[in-house]
Amino acid sequence: MANDASTVFDLVILGGGSGGYAAALRGAQLGLDVALIEKNKLGGTCLHNGCIPTKALLHAGEVADQSRESEQFGVKTSFEGVDMAGVHKYKDEVIAGLYKGLQGLVASRKITYIEGEGRLSSPTSVDVNGQRVEGRHVLLATGSVPKTLPGLEIDGNRIISSDHALTLDRVPKSAIVLGGGVIGVEFASAWKSFGSEVTVIEGLKHLVPVEDENSSKLLERAFRKRGIKFNLGTFFQKAEHTQDGVKVTLADGKEFEAEVLLVAIGRGPVSQGLGYEENGVATDRGFVLVDEYMRTNVPTISAVGDLVPTLQLAHVGFAEGILVAERLAGLKTVPVDYDGVPRVTYCHPEVASVGLTEAKAKEVYGADKVVSIKFPLGGNGKSRILKTAGEIKLVQVKDGAVVGVHMVGDRMGEQVGEAQLIYNWEALPAEVAQLIHAHPTQNEALGEAHLALAGKPLHMHD
């Protein structure tokens, strides 16, 4: 169909990552004739270079930690080391299975899939493989790539990006991680589990700085206990090769040396040289600008995912892609509430949240109108069984709804689903408190925190 010049698709999508393929699947489901163009592999960063492979590494690291520490549970094992070839085999098998399933989904929905590097050639067309693909609407979903800093050259050997880190054929003896956000702390956690000596460099005053400050402090405490070093509040100045690795110098003159330097300062949009600006699409620092319905300033063009300045999360891309497909199909759509999106950092321990931080809530509602409470996981039976520490913190508008849920501890990412419902349905603490949570579960801790906030704590001092 793509080779037939007379074909005009309802929707032409440039980019087959989370946002792009979600729009394609939903659009086809709603009867739209869809063309999906991807230069690499269907599934994009999340499936091949992001969410899925990093979580596989983190799980392998968790298994390594459990092997070393099993005797505390009365189980004697011996830990002989990490076989990175075996870890990559496991990781790649996970990816391959999901990739095959996604390919099958796209084929089953009768989506025209075109493999090749596309370029926006007009407000209603994309050029790919020497052909012009015409559409009534075009969706830009070209994603992001790892960022670096001026003068900091990523060589793929000693100075690496997250892409390189995912295929590293060895466990580095020592590593410096530049950036204490989600990507940085996840790799720091995995490498420490594998046996590396790790130091995280973060220019802001806390690790995971976009999270509630209490969560950041709990993670920092846990990292200290694990032996993960970090330097906060001073920015990077330069990096240089040494005989055995790399040396990093900070703005205050402090120096750190390690075998490798992972540059994990975030991801930047892929938009250069793709015909966006030439066709009138407004951008800012490479990001394509959109309204709340993901519409650009060009009526026939929308954009989603990491390409636009919203939360860089795969599930946000899914939601934005679905929104575009449903809008084009004539359904009533509701803009994404980005505060209501669950956020999880999968280090050990996990950091999970939804809604506003306490600082943000005070900014929005006034300091005197906000209350918070913390429920320590030490008071939760299942968490004690798992030997994990941490807290669940709730932020509430006084006499009103819970506007923030912030959790630190192993497996807290699995509890964020209920937290999402609590925030998005504007639940009152008393309403959650009357729900019965299964015992013993970690989920029960979320219920106990709401019991406490409702003024009737059970396994917690008044």
**Parallel, antiparallel, or unpaired for β 391-397 and 370-376?**
antiparallel
Phi, psi angle pair for 198, to nearest 5°: -120, 140
Please report how many Cα atoms fall inside a 13 Å half-sphere around the Cα of residue 221, on the Cβ side.
13
**Nearest C-alpha neighbor of 50 from the set 340, 306, 414:** 306
Task: Write down the catalytic residue from 439, 450, 459, 461.
Answer: 439
Retrieve residue 250's tokens: 């900070």
17 burial (CB, 10 Å; 0-12 / 13-18 / 19+) is buried
Cα(6)–Cα(348) distance, integer angstroms: 54
Give me the helices (H) in 197-273, please.
213-226
What per-residue string of b and e applies to 445-457 under the rule 16 or more CB within 10 Å gives b?
bbbbbbbbbbeeb
At 319, is the secondary structure helix, strand, or coil?
Answer: helix
Instruction: Say which residue the tokens 């925030």 belong to.
Output: 423
Cα(374)–Cα(230) distance, integer angstroms: 25
DSSP letter (8 states) at residue 412: G
Catalytic annotation on 459?
A: no
CB 448 within 8 A of CB 380: yes
Active site residues: 439
